[in-house]
Amino acid sequence: MFKLFWPEVRGNYFFRNRRTYMDFLKSGDGRIYYVPHQSLTIPAFALVGNWRDRSDITALWYVKGSGMVKKSLVMESAKECFEEGSEKMVTKLLSEYEAAEFRQWGFTKACRIVLFEKRFASRPGMMKEPAGIRISSFKKSMLEKVLQVDSSSFDDFWKLDDRTLEAIAASCRRNVFLVAQRGNEVVGYVIAGANGSLGYLQRLGVTAVNQGQGTGEMLSSAALRMLYDMGARVAMVNTQEDNQTGLRLYEKLGFQELLDTRYIMQYAASDHARGS
């Protein structure tokens, strides 16, 4: 049954390849709820699973359907996840129009995501590395150190597990994964990728004690230079509206805020219980 839904899910940001999709489902974290319909090759369905390694938060990774069918899939899958111990369901990034639809069903805003764009007029210049810091390509042996950097850089909701980090690092046709080191210590990292002429600055983390010293700017500049060399002529990045450090950095790097915004919506088990 899992294979039936793959053509619809394929190309989703998190499930860039079939192996990632199948591993997610076979691990027991992923589940599919669907509405059988003999006239449809792929029936209406909802793909849900743990939010990263958080068993207390369910993510609605993908939903196919419209109108009352879509609402029923979302609400029934949320109900079952709450019965299994999840405390809330969160969506993937939604447009303002999509967020309004979920709001009608009892979802509330978890966070607003600001989008930025940088158009390359020329090849980005090289930044001087801060004293004692060197940049190198990521190696699998660095995975645990990178996850420690990530945990130091982000709060519990946003920090990555190994599976999500690896999925992000392989999500584009061409990918960049750089780390900043002081001696043998990993103090920062950046993940970026390019699909043709469009590039993405996907993830940036610097340990708390090393922030404010130029490490994040150095990593970002190096990644942007590599995106340009891959053929990207526009780079995109997003961050939470309250991430003042990130907002200042992207402005300094020449990114321009777009009017288009995205939302992550949430629906709590306690809200569902009150409405039942």
Tokens of 36: 């059988």
Q: Which of 201, 175, 208, 189 is nearest to 147 (CA)?
A: 189
Buried b / exposed e along 114-133 (16+ C-beta atoms within 10 A): bbbbbebeeebeeeeebeeb
Determine contact, residues 12/61, Cβ cutoff 8 Å: yes
Rounded distance, CA 194 to CA 233, Å?
A: 10
Domain with CATH 3.40.630.30 in the chain: 2-92, 121-232
Distance CA(235)–CA(198), nearest Å, equals 6
**Closest to 7 in 3D by CA, of 50, 45, 58:** 45
Q: What is the CATH number of domain 121-232?
A: 3.40.630.30
The tens place of each residue's pLDDT in the chain, 276 residues long, gives 677 888 888 877 677 778 888 888 877 678 999 988 766 688 899 999 999 888 899 999 999 999 999 999 999 999 999 999 999 999 999 999 999 999 999 999 999 999 999 999 999 988 877 788 999 999 999 999 999 999 999 999 999 999 889 889 988 999 999 999 999 999 999 999 999 999 999 999 999 888 888 999 999 999 999 999 999 999 999 999 999 999 999 999 999 999 989 999 999 999 888 876
Would you state the structure tokens that stand for residue 52, as one six-digit string? 């990263």
- The CB density around residue 62, as the number of other CB atoms within 10 Å, is 19
The one-character DSSP state at 276 is -
The superfamily in CATH containing domain 2-92 is Gcn5-related N-acetyltransferase (GNAT) (3.40.630.30)
pLDDT of residue 236: 97
